[in-house]
Structure 1
Amino acid sequence: MASLVSFLAFHFLFTIFQYSSLAANVNYNVQTLGAKPDGKTDSTKAFLSAWTSACASGQPATIYVPPGRFLLGTATFAGQSCKNQAITIQIDGTLVAPSNYNVIGNSGTWINFEGVTGVSVIGGTLDAQGANLWACKNSGKSCPTGATTLAFYNSKNIMISGLSSINSQMFHILVYGSQNAKLVGMKVSAPGNSPNTDGIHVEKSSSVTIMNSKIGTGDDCISIGPGTSNLWIENVACGPGHGISIGSLGWEMQEPGVQNVTVKSATFTGTQNGVRVKTWARPSKGFVKYVLFQHLVMVNVENPIIIDQNYCPGGQNCPDQVSGVKISDITYQDIHGSSATEIAMKLDCSKGNPCSDINLEDVKLTYKNEPAHSSCINADGKASGLVQPNNCLYN
């Protein structure tokens, strides 16, 4: 009898818990609010309506996007007046940009979150249909700049998990002026010849984590802009693309630096670069310090390890100048694989601000199954363990 009473009491409490949990999380289905999963009907109003309701809710809320293709125009989801700081956007379908690239091409961002806190984007696909704009740019015609697919500005406590982004007009994902963002299980894809389609760009942000993701684009897989600190990148497969790049930095004289960056357990396949630091050949008070590149595999990469402080494309706005960005405390540890060029490690540092405290440890890079070569200019540091190509640093 006591057991029966205990069971009934447990069942009653469990039922109450289930009910309260469901009641505590409000759900807004965009299709119920008027969105059409046909890929043709503009569903922007339904998405904005769902956001407005979720923001106004005093309880955790879920915006649900069911299977199907939902046409979405330029949309800004503002969080400054949100009561709710626990909004989940669960996407089981695909959000599609207008096929006419002019609709979002001059907007800057297709899907924009501004000043939000506690937003999670889970699953789904974002299809920006950028191919027609790339063709326009490649033809030399006058075209829109293009839109970033998904951006978080001035936000905090962000989670993006299991999201796919394909064929962005410009950058796929942007994290700007934000704190505490986690991007996990991302799939980012655009052809290797698509212009300026960076996978993930982080700038003026702190405590950002990017993990367990596959990124192939026509530009940097991950690019790191000024003012970034405490960035952790782990288990990323990059290719095609231009690698993982810090920079370009130093365009402005008064520019915040980059520090405390870790890139580990990443694979680069057929990319233009592996890990790169790039600065403009211009005066600047910017800096890069405390960076660890660890446990990396290079497969037929043109420039597996590169620092370029003489970046001046087209010789415009920077000829005959020297980079003021100070690069120090950079460690390359356990980096193996093959280079597509004879010089696998190129450290071309500023003659006005030489690189310092560069550390090489257990590096083995080959070119055509032979030891690759290295080139160091204005770079000092030390090497330990096996280092191939040869250590060219000065002490």
Structure 2
Amino acid sequence: MLIAPTITKVKACKVFNVFDYGAVGDGLTDDSKAISNAWHEACHKSKSSQILIPQGKYLINPIVLKGPCKGHINMTINGRFMAPTDPKYWFGIDHWISFRYINGLIIGGHGVLDGQGHLAWSSNTCMKDPKCEKLPISLRLDFVNDSRVHHIGLINSKNVHMNIFSCHNISIRDLKIRAPGSSPNTDGVHIGMSTNIIVSDSVISSGDDCVSLSRGTKNVDISNVKCGPGHGISIGSLGGCPNESEVEGLVVRNCNFIGTQNGLRIKTWAHSHSATVSNITFEHIKMTDVFNPIVIDQQYCPFGNCDQGYSSKVQIRDVRFKHISGTSRSEVAVHLRCSDTNPCKNIMLKDINLDYTDGTADSRCSNVFGVACGKQNPPSCMEQFGITCPHN
């Protein structure tokens, strides 16, 4: 069972107002240096500090706010950060605002990070070219521990809105993330190589996954998230690299999916390296006009150029789909397509009630073993084997 992260509460002892460091806040003047200077001074204070960004518009070019810091820092964003419009400041750059090597960070306030992605989305060729130039992620947390992000808005990122990499003990709550459903690769929150992460009480609309999880992610709790438009909540794609760390201990609960491409999805490459996904629970989920509500896809091939005849080496086991209801925009409301050499094991379907909006819903299964119990709409196609259903 996931234990909620213990987040240090920061009581600010000194306030560093970015206006005191030369910020203008008119949306036209480059305020990057003022924010970096305020960060540098606060980071070197031995006591806790608050960096205050008052109301206003702040043009910010790509910056890295780096630790380790001597004290905890509360970064209060009440204004609106504006990403650069000139491609020389964003094309081929992997970050916009990046925090690295920090413990005890709070990012809050009621401000907005505006990625101005409409200027860059036409330059995104990644769905056709896996070697494409990367575009900046709006908010990156790399090697950040015992920290939280709350109550801010992220809109129209050029790439992923928020990326969590190699972090531990992070709470993310009360976020509003928004981009058009047509915007490419604009995941809401992406998590990789991180442990003990909570995402809760947030509204995410994007052109890609609302929340995505990649290799090495363990003990993640996602709750009370409203997702749509977007591609749902996804694990993967996995197996693309050798020696990938396991994904385990994910709970997704009490979430709503509205008009998304997918709902709950696990995806792995067919021509893959060995990896493992285990101990996953999806429960108390509401679907409204979701195209693919429940999906396991071990033949994932988004570019259409995959080698044929390969079977995924990723082992998926101990996955529970419980109390999931609503409507599917496709006839196949449950599609479990597992590897023929590494079949999915101990998969549970309990109390599934998904209606097809234009007729009778169906399910399709291959190479999946587990148990189905309670209401099953559509009727389960899974081979019953190995486990029993609990009462709850």
- TM value normalised by structure 1: 0.91
Question: Which one of 101, 119, 144 corresponds to residue 115 of structure 1?
Answer: 101
- The answer to whether the aligner puts 1:300 opposite 2:289 as a matched pair is yes
- The answer to whether the aligner puts 1:344 opposite 2:333 as a matched pair is yes
- The answer to whether the aligner puts 1:186 opposite 2:202 as a matched pair is no
Question: Which residue of 1 is the match for residue 376 of structure 2?
Answer: 387
Q: Provide the rounded CA distance (Å) in 2 between the counterparts of 1:207 and 1:102.
A: 37
Contact map agreement 2:124 2:135 (CA 8 A) in 1:
no
Q: Provide the rounded CA distance (Å) in 2 between the counterparts of 1:352 and 1:318.
A: 16
Question: Which one of 224, 227, 230 corresponds to residue 219 of structure 2?
Answer: 230
User: Within 5 Å, which residues of 2 pair with 1:1-395?
Assistant: 25-80=13-68, 82-84=69-71, 86-123=72-109, 124-137=111-124, 144-316=133-305, 318-368=307-357, 370-395=359-384
Q: Provide the rounded CA distance (Å) in 2 between the counterparts of 1:316 and 1:33.
A: 52
Contact map agreement 1:292 1:331 (CA 8 A) in 2:
yes
Describe the shift of the 1:340–1:307 C-alpha distance in structure 2 as closer, same or farther (beyond 3 A): same
Shift of 1:369: 6.5
Describe the shift of the 1:318–1:83 C-alpha distance in structure 2 as closer, same or farther (beyond 3 A): farther
User: Does 314-323 or 210-219 show the bigger shift?
Assistant: 314-323
Equivalent position SS for 2:139: strand
| Larger of the two Rg values belongs to structure | 1
Q: Provide the rounded CA distance (Å) in 1 between the counterparts of 2:132 and 2:121.
A: 9
Residue 112 of structure 2 aligns to which amino acid in structure 1? T
Shift of 1:235: 0.2
Shift of 1:36: 1.0
For residues 289-314 of structure 1, what are the alpha-carbon distances to aligned partners after superposition, in whole Å with 9 as ceiling and x for unaligned? 10000000000000000000001233
Residue 290 of structure 1 aligns to which amino acid in structure 2? N
Contact map agreement 1:101 1:130 (CA 8 A) in 2:
no
Equivalent position SS for 1:174: strand
For residues 337-386 of structure 1, what are the alpha-carbon distances to aligned partners after superposition, in whole Å with 9 as ceiling and x for unaligned? 00000000000000110001110111100012654110001011101111
Shift of 1:317: 5.1
Contact map agreement 1:365 1:371 (CA 8 A) in 2:
no
Q: Provide the rounded CA distance (Å) in 1 between the counterparts of 2:91 and 2:197.
A: 28
Equivalent position SS for 1:376: strand
Gaps of 5+ in 2: 1-9, 385-392
Q: Provide the rounded CA distance (Å) in 1 between the counterparts of 2:113 and 2:212.
A: 20
- TM value normalised by structure 2: 0.92
For residues 199-231 of structure 1, what are the alpha-carbon distances to aligned partners after superposition, in whole Å with 9 as ceiling and x for unaligned? 100000000000000000000000000000000
Gaps of 5+ in 1: 1-20
State the identity %. 38
User: Does 49-58 or 312-321 show the bigger shift?
Assistant: 312-321
Equivalent position SS for 1:95: strand
Q: Provide the rounded CA distance (Å) in 1 between the counterparts of 2:204 and 2:211.
A: 8
Q: Provide the rounded CA distance (Å) in 2 between the counterparts of 1:243 and 1:72.
A: 30
Higher helix proportion (structure 1 or 2): 1
Residue 199 of structure 1 aligns to which amino acid in structure 2? G
Shift of 1:285: 2.0
Q: Provide the rounded CA distance (Å) in 1 between the counterparts of 2:359 and 2:304.
A: 35
Q: Compute the RMSD of aligned alpha carbons.
A: 1.9
Contact map agreement 2:331 2:359 (CA 8 A) in 1:
no
Contact map agreement 2:75 2:107 (CA 8 A) in 1:
yes
Describe the shift of the 1:345–1:118 C-alpha distance in structure 2 as closer, same or farther (beyond 3 A): same
Residue 110 of structure 1 aligns to which amino acid in structure 2? W
Q: Provide the rounded CA distance (Å) in 1 between the counterparts of 2:164 and 2:49.
A: 23
Q: Provide the rounded CA distance (Å) in 2 between the counterparts of 1:181 and 1:137.
A: 30
Q: Provide the rounded CA distance (Å) in 2 between the counterparts of 1:39 and 1:143.
A: 30
Residue 261 of structure 1 aligns to which amino acid in structure 2? L
Shift of 1:68: 0.5
Aligned length: 372
Shift of 1:315: 4.0
Shift of 1:194: 0.5
Question: Which residue of 2 is the match for residue 12 of structure 1?
Answer: none
Residue 346 of structure 2 aligns to which amino acid in structure 1? D
